[in-house]
Amino acid sequence: MAQIETRDYDVVVIGGGPAGMGAALAAHEAGASTVVIERNEHLGGILRQCIHPGFGLTHFKEELTGPEYAQRFINRVREAGIDVMLGSMALGIDEGGREDAAHSVTVMGEDGMARLTCRSVVLAMGCRERTRFEIKIPGSRPAGVYTAGLAQRYINIENLRPGHRVVILGSGDIGLIMARRCALEGLEVEGVYELMPYANGLHRNVKNCLEDFGIPLHLSTTVTRVIGRDRVEAVEVSNVGEDLSPIPGTERIIPCDTLLLSVGLIPENELARAAGVEIDPRTRGARVDQDLQTNVDGIFSCGNVLQVHDLADNVTAEATRAGAAAAAHALGTARPDVLSEPVTLEPCGMAGYIVPARINRTVATKAFFRVRRPLEHAQLVIRAGDAVLFHGKTRDYKPSIMEAAPITPKMLAAVKPGETLTVSIDPVEEA
């Protein structure tokens, strides 16, 4: 039987998007031998197909397209001489079987299988899009139903036209950006339909991608049937009530040959689950500590596989933390000041989730969350049990924006055994 090639690293990074590259650069800079595994033939992840501007405003203080933003990191990875395995799929994470190599990552590449032993693994596998199957739209199964990201790939990378008359379901950023992209390519965009009573994407994208192009946004409306035999001929849309169920009698038929679905992203955590990583049902990402380490010693998580980000700049910042922490773990330089009992963080009120889920050390850090629906006049309140430790200014909150709550050593010290630190967004009554 052929021998499987085995190589040893301090840090193995799975995924070569902005998260994987950011983590690899930080690990390398901290002195750890590092490899990036990427299943595609190129580094860059989803950014390769995001040819619109809007990237890099925080990190580079200039506005770049997705490929430009990615290329800056690809150049740095190359210049640093970090090992990169392209066309290589990570298949599993197992125990390393040696005291000096806690983990082993099995990889299928162009040259066959390889086994990479290491002390730390960084999960940076990104997200996949939810499909028609996952949201269960009834009707026939003709050609012409695409996820928005697939259509983006066809248009921006393959130079293919997905159709002529388009309906878009979902007003998250990907749906909004694709509405504009289709319009720019000469496709007729009939409208964007959104289940919720508000747009899910960033305000700037509603303005720049829909309003500037005269594309209507239909709120509290969903696609209730796909019509067509071989190719989509129309979709049926219906208004929805407060319970988000279609209201009988509001059905109308919209002629179109293409339906683009932009109905959410799902972190690609199959590998993580199989490795025993605990998954938060709210984010569908790993439950991590302040260093972005999961419950499995030496496995870290960052980027969209941890929590869905709207800004690549935030992915880079998070990945830099994960890479540095993975290197410190691998090299034995991680700070040992662990609390006797980790402090558990819980989202509360209108906060839909919280990352990190626990803090093991007295450290100043930030906890990230999103609200579950838009709120006017609301306040961030941090509590230990019933005691209020912090409250922020009254302001508006939107689900499209990732928020950060400050966590201080003083707050951590105030949490008594058995209590959790709750991060809450509470509505404020107008005077």
Ligand X SMILES: Cc1cc2nc3c(=O)[nH]c(=O)nc-3n(C[C@H](O)[C@H](O)[C@H](O)COP(=O)(O)OP(=O)(O)OC[C@H]3O[C@@H](n4cnc5c(N)ncnc54)[C@H](O)[C@@H]3O)c2cc1C
Q: Which positions lie near ligand X, rule CB under 6 A?
A: 14-20, 37-40, 45-47, 50, 52, 54-55, 89-90, 124-126, 149, 152, 173-174, 177, 268, 271, 303-305, 309-313, 315
Using the minimum distance from each CB to ligand X, give the nearer residue, 322 or 381. 322
Q: Distances from the Cα of 212 to the Cαs of 164, 166, 209, 335, in angstroms? A: 20, 18, 6, 51
CB of 317 closer than 8 Å to CB of 59:
yes
Residue 156 CB, nearest distance to ligand X (Å)? 9
Residue 44 CB, nearest distance to ligand X (Å)? 7
- Bond prior to 399 in cis (omega within 30° of 0): no
The closest alpha carbon to 390, from 423, 418, 431, 429, belongs to: 423
CB of 254 closer than 8 Å to CB of 190:
yes
Residue 137 CB, nearest distance to ligand X (Å)? 21
Using the minimum distance from each CB to ligand X, give the nearer residue, 123 or 425. 123
The closest alpha carbon to 400, from 212, 214, 220, 194, belongs to: 194
Residue 205 CB, nearest distance to ligand X (Å)? 8
User: What is the Cα–Cα distance from 389 to 391, expressed in whole angstroms?
Assistant: 7
Helix H or strand E segment including 120: strand 120-123
Residue 254 CB, nearest distance to ligand X (Å)? 23
CB of 117 closer than 8 Å to CB of 104:
yes
Using the minimum distance from each CB to ligand X, give the nearer residue, 124 or 168. 124
Residue 373 CB, nearest distance to ligand X (Å)? 22
Q: Which residues pair with 13 in a beta bridge?
A: 36, 122
Per DSSP bridges, beta strands 421-427 and 343-349 are parallel
Using the minimum distance from each CB to ligand X, give the nearer residue, 51 or 331. 51
Using the minimum distance from each CB to ligand X, give the nearer residue, 22 or 163. 22
Using the minimum distance from each CB to ligand X, give the nearer residue, 203 or 252. 203
